[in-house]
A = this chain, B = another copy of it.
Amino acid sequence: MSHALRGMRLAVLGPISWPTPPPGYGPWEQIASNIATGMSARGLDVTLFATGNSHAPVKISAVVPVGLEEDRGLNADVYSALHIGKLFERAGEFDLIHNNFDWKPLTYALATTAPPMVTTIHGFSSPSILAAYYAAAARSFYCSISDADRDPGLAYLATTYNGIDPAQWTFRAEPGKDLVFLARFHPEKGAHLAIAIAKKAGVRLKMAAIPQDEAYFKELVEPHIDGDQIQFLGHVKGTARDELLGTALALVHMTTRPERFGLTMIEAMACGTPVLGADMGSIPEIVVDGTTGYLCRDVDEAAARVPQLAQLSRHACRRHVETAFSTERMIDRYCDAYTEALRLRLPIPATESQQTWRAHDWWDRPMAYTDIPAKPEHYAFTP
């Protein structure tokens, strides 16, 4: 597959909040970096559109000197537009464009017919951006980061799971004794459920995160923190994160709304640590039930699984990441997606049922979004 793509001129459009790769936070920049570097290693002729202070073993095209988050004096609107405009100005120089910069580039793609474009939908920040994805559905191929995170109104080319480098995580063969929670403190991440599970099962829970939803944290999390059974470690990163994940009995990931992907789960499994996860969203795609963790529907089910966790093979967890969720496997998936995009040239039209979803749009969506505004009266308008 990669052989056929050798020499292909690929434009990777990354975000510009941070340099690529980012020195700290910056998940999308990190993925753009992994893709650019990985594709270059497969012999593709890669140009990365990123900030001027980015570093990659590929050609870098930049219109903004540093990340927009690094210098708030830069007009983010203007420089984002120029960053995208610069790529499309040069569109004729590439065989394929891989967009990792959300919905805005789709509206520019409407202005140009060549070359084929693949857009990874890293997440719908708000349902109101769906209008852009629908408008450009005949122009860009879409990749989802899990089967679960697909919008019913869109046709997708592929699911391209994110990948990590397993070598950057320490495998530990011996199971730990404590559960660990490692996510934002927000109701959707289910810290309150992790606490309930630990209490019911009679084991210790170590929580690491920054409180995102302060009210939630104060009401449903903080009262349970006793420094013994329920511990709060604050924000944990780097080697401390590696050790926290690797020395745990399991990562508890009992989300209350569908997870899009869930990078922490594959980081835990890379350390050999299984996942006690909610049976919803992307989790059933990432955790092999009974092998690399357990899929649970509620607190009782999860608490009942706790005594069995130490019997799961930590080697199996590690192997699962190496075979299914490594960076190399992610690059394989994108190579497949690129090949298919080059073969088809233009996206497969949405099915009639998908068109119907679009007519409904997100106001009638059964689940998944928390910030849907009221449906305006003029909504019958069709462009």
Contacts and interface: CB of A to CB of B under 8 A. Distances in A.
A81 B104 contact: yes
Interface residues of A, number: 42
B107 A65 contact: no
Contacts of A111: 85, 88-89, 91, 108, 111-112
A89 B221 CA distance: 51
A71 B381 CA distance: 13
Interface in A168-186: none
B108 A71 contact: no
Given A88-B110, A135-B85, A378 B78 contact: no
Contacts of A128: 74-75, 78
Nearest to A139: B89
Contacts of A78: 103, 128-129, 131-132
A62 interface: yes
Contacts of A112: 111-112
Interface of A: 52, 62-63, 65-66, 71, 73-75, 77-79, 81-82, 84-86, 88-89, 91, 103-104, 106-108, 110-112, 126, 128-129, 131-132, 135-136, 373-374, 376, 378-379, 381, 383
13 contacts: A52-B381, A62-B383, A65-B381, A78-B103, A78-B131, A78-B132, A79-B131, A81-B104, A82-B131, A86-B110, A88-B111, A89-B111, A107-B108
